[in-house]
Structure 1
Amino acid sequence: MDRDEENKKNPIDQEAYNETETEIESTAADAPSADHMQEDLSEETEIEAEYTEVEETASEDVVSEEEPIPESATRPTMNKEERARVYNSVSENEDASRRPKDRKNSPIRNGIVGGLIGGGMVALIGAGLLFGSGILGNGSGTGDSGNTAINETVTDVAVNITTDTTAAVEKVQDAVVSIINMQAGNPNMFGFDLPQNSSDTTNGTLETSSEGSGVIYKIEDDLAYIVTNNHVIDGADELEILMKDGTKEVATVVGSDVWTDLAVLTIPASNVTAVASFGDSDAVNVGEPAIAIGSPLGTEFATSVTQGIISAKNRSVSTDVDGDSIVDWDVTALQTDAAINPGNSGGALINIAGQVIGINSMKISDSNVEGMGFAIPSNDVLTIINELEQNGEIIRPILGVSMLDLSQISASQQSSVLTLPDDVTAGVVIAEVQALSAAELGGLEQYDVITEMNGEAVTSIVDLRKILYALEVGTDVEISYYREGTLQSTTVTLTEGQTSAE
């Protein structure tokens, strides 16, 4: 039945209900405060009793909606809708701890609870994985308060790594030295020398002109022998050798060769601790490891190590020996992509066995070029240094002439002065013949154009030198040449010479 019908049947209860409802709504609207602490206890007791009645009724209604609720003459009778309205009005404003629990299952609530539980489980599993992988660490101990303490101690870990490269370098590095080229310097404008770059010696005050590298290859009679490049020692008034341990020695020049760019020095052997051994450069394979050791940019970076491979064998590298910007010689070299810089000259190029397979000599310096260095093959080095030790120089045959490449002569002069046939486009022009030289004795004259020697074509001065220096002193060699447009030939007996360009 609805509320009006209940009121009609229970006129007495209507007044009680209205009074109770008014009291409940008043209590719900006004939150407890200090101003209400002295309210009438009887009123509060009545409200509490009424709330209890409502709560019990709501609970009974939840447990069994079909059970009939007996009507009482001492309290108002309300249908389910009215009781629910009163219950909700009170519950929304009373303390949450006093609200009756809803025992009915809600799909929305179940979904929220399930999501929270599932998320919690994922979080726990993820944390376990992080702890297991070491990303999250647990404490190494507890403090006095019982809290876990984090271990902040940093431990140094020493790793001893040995490879074929480190083993190879260890065999040779103590035998690689720095070479300091000291030359007499001009006093500066203030009349004194720069002390950091100068040294007082028996030759006077010397200054560092350049720095390079060298390799100790043997000890004999209390002397240690060092091989380096000729251009490293060129023009030196004194040579200082800086060992790996910082010891310095003054070196003596045994001999040098401008064409092969090699030189041999000696120092006292008292402080020498290591000697390098040579390998067979002919047995080197393209693509095998190559390690360069030297002093790039000088002593500040002494005994630096770089690694690459053998890029090529038997490379012919054109060089300008006398600095006139004209190619004078072709050096046969090993090509490597191991970094070679100024100061590496004269240093060691070694194989993976720690053997010296070349003496680093040059590189191609160009903004468009990278990783093209060259070393004199060890087999050629051995031949040259043995002769330098014995003679102090390389004895080579000479013709006794000064020469020019035909390509350096203008076309008009080739026609008017040399009167060459049009089909002769390459050869070597004799500019001057020395008196009593092999050339003069063989009948060669100025302006003769050599096109063949010992059965090999001659197209340039470099070609002629290669053929000439491969022959022995005293050898009779046949030379073909053009004189006033006519091809002729002669036989020349080669005489002895050393650094002559002829």
Structure 2
Amino acid sequence: MFKRFLSMFTAAVMGAAITLASVQYFGSANQTDPPDETATNTNAQKVAASSNSIADIVEQSSKAIVGVVNKKNQTDRFQLSKAVTSGTGSGVIYKKTEKEVFILTNNHVIEGASQISISLYNGKEVEAELIGTDALTDIAVLRIKGNYDITPLQIGDSTKLRAGDRVIAIGNPLGLDLSRTVTQGIVSAVNRTIEVTTSAGDWDLDVIQTDAAINPGNSGGALINDSGELVGINSLKISENGVEGLGFAIPINEVTTIAEEIIKNGQVVRPYLGVSVVSLDKIPPVYLQGLPETVTEGVMVASIDENSEIAKAGLRVQDVIVSINGKSIKDEGGLRKFLYTKLSVGDQVTVKVYRKGEKKTFTVKLESNKT
């Protein structure tokens, strides 16, 4: 796994010190009626692969790239509250109907926003509604009302990308004054995994590595292949002295899976164990007394949802979880990854724990995190 500190230029919402560590989850409170089922990406326009012209790709794609303006309420000296721009990022028009348009962006781009606006290709700014976000995968879906003469990008297949494939990044680096800036590069590597810290916990984020220039404000923008297809959402870069060309995008196949669930449910529905945990290597030794010396990995229960199935089964705070269904749990990130990728809502699981040196086993049915 590729682990290192990431300076999340992730788009960072320009003007704000945004990192994934400070991302906040937006639930479904803003969700309205389900979107019109006629909303599709089938009217998307694809540039003929044979044209192989960057200029043609950009000309036919750039209208679908928008600016995302994060606004937060501030109180002036007269105690009057108003929404002011906190930062800007990028977004991609994903689907449209005659009544509404759905936009993809990064979760961290709209972090903490009290109001969100979309800046269109013609400079027009319209208010957006937040459908929902997923902090772990850093995806958010927005909606604007109205009928717009903008063709969504054709969705590509990110699993077909190979190192060396040419790609184009389009976004708004350093703010809207440089909107729809185009940079070119190649796919530097596929199937990269980067450990990030989010408000929903640590997560191993699957990404595409590219050397196409990605700068603050690019987050949420498009990574496009040489057929004019959207293959990724630009999200972060490594920013260190002497480091160049290390940008990362979330593969579009993963993005669309998350986006469709957000559009349907207002959030991503995942199995819910009902506990918050802390990795053993972060626990002071005084709290580990009585734990067998052979137990060096696992997670300690920090809090429990009193209404959860596992609370009813008898799990307690300070119990140390060492395995689920026979799978050893190394740390909190490992627990989360196993829970969310290998298990489903309704699964019956066996949880093994240590309590004051005594090994115990609990069997519970996984609930849903849906609110």
User: What residue number does 1:472 align with?
Assistant: 344
Higher strand share: 2
Pick from 233, 236, 256 the counterpart of residue 382 of structure 1.
Answer: 256
Matches of residues 52-131 of structure 1 in structure 2 within 5 Å?
Answer: none
Secondary structure of 2:155's match?
A: coil
Matches of residues 6-405 of structure 1 in structure 2 within 5 Å?
Answer: 163-187=52-76, 205-322=82-199, 328-405=202-279
Deviation at 1:205, TM superposition (A): 2.5
Larger radius of gyration: 1
Pick from 457, 460, 473 the counterpart of residue 331 of structure 2.
Answer: 460
Write the distance in 1 (CA, Å) between the matches of 2:310 and 2:236: 34
CA contact (8 A) 1:262 1:384 kept: yes
Letter in 2 for 1:429: M
Write the distance in 2 (CA, Å) between the matches of 1:307 and 1:455: 47
Deviation at 1:256, TM superposition (A): 1.5
Deviation at 1:498, TM superposition (A): 4.6
Deviation at 1:302, TM superposition (A): 0.6
- Superposed CA offset, 1:421-453 (max 9, x none): 222211111122221213213332222211222
CA contact (8 A) 1:254 1:389 kept: yes
The alignment of Structure 1 onto Structure 2 pairs a total of residues equal to 320
* 2:321 is aligned with 1:432: no
Letter in 1 for 2:209: Q
Letter in 1 for 2:304: V
User: What residue number does 1:482 align with?
Assistant: 354
In the superposition, relative to structure 1, how do residues 405 and 275 fare at CA in structure 2: closer, same or farther (>3 Å)? same
Write the distance in 1 (CA, Å) between the matches of 2:242 and 2:285: 34
Secondary structure of 2:204's match?
A: strand
* 2:286 is aligned with 1:409: no
Deviation at 1:479, TM superposition (A): 1.9
Secondary structure of 1:429's match?
A: strand
User: Which protein has greater RCO, CA pairs closer than 8 Å, 6+ apart?
Assistant: 2
CA contact (8 A) 2:75 2:82 kept: no
Which shows bigger deviation, 171-180 or 451-460?
Answer: 451-460
User: What residue number does 1:422 align with?
Assistant: 293
- Superposed CA offset, 1:211-235 (max 9, x none): 0000001112421111111111122
Letter in 2 for 1:420: L
Write the distance in 1 (CA, Å) between the matches of 2:194 and 2:104: 21
CA contact (8 A) 1:184 1:206 kept: yes
Gaps of 5+ in 2: 1-50
Deviation at 1:399, TM superposition (A): 1.2
In the superposition, relative to structure 1, how do residues 395 and 349 fare at CA in structure 2: closer, same or farther (>3 Å)? same
Letter in 2 for 1:184: N
Deviation at 1:163, TM superposition (A): 5.0
- Superposed CA offset, 1:182-237 (max 9, x none): 1112326xx699xxxxxxxxxx6321011000000111242111111111112222
Q: Cα RMSD between the aligned structures?
A: 2.1
CA contact (8 A) 1:398 1:438 kept: no
User: What residue number does 2:24 align with?
Assistant: none
CA contact (8 A) 2:136 2:203 kept: yes
Write the distance in 2 (CA, Å) between the matches of 1:192 and 1:167: 51
In the superposition, relative to structure 1, how do residues 498 and 317 fare at CA in structure 2: closer, same or farther (>3 Å)? farther
User: What residue number does 2:31 align with?
Assistant: none
Write the distance in 1 (CA, Å) between the matches of 2:276 and 2:150: 47
Which shows bigger deviation, 176-185 or 470-479?
Answer: 470-479
CA contact (8 A) 2:135 2:199 kept: no
Secondary structure of 1:320's match?
A: strand
Write the distance in 2 (CA, Å) between the matches of 1:258 and 1:498: 15
Write the distance in 2 (CA, Å) between the matches of 1:484 and 1:167: 67
Write the distance in 2 (CA, Å) between the matches of 1:192 and 1:163: 57
CA contact (8 A) 1:336 1:372 kept: yes
TM-score by length of 1: 0.60
CA contact (8 A) 1:224 1:272 kept: no
TM-score by length of 2: 0.81
Which shows bigger deviation, 354-363 or 470-479?
Answer: 470-479
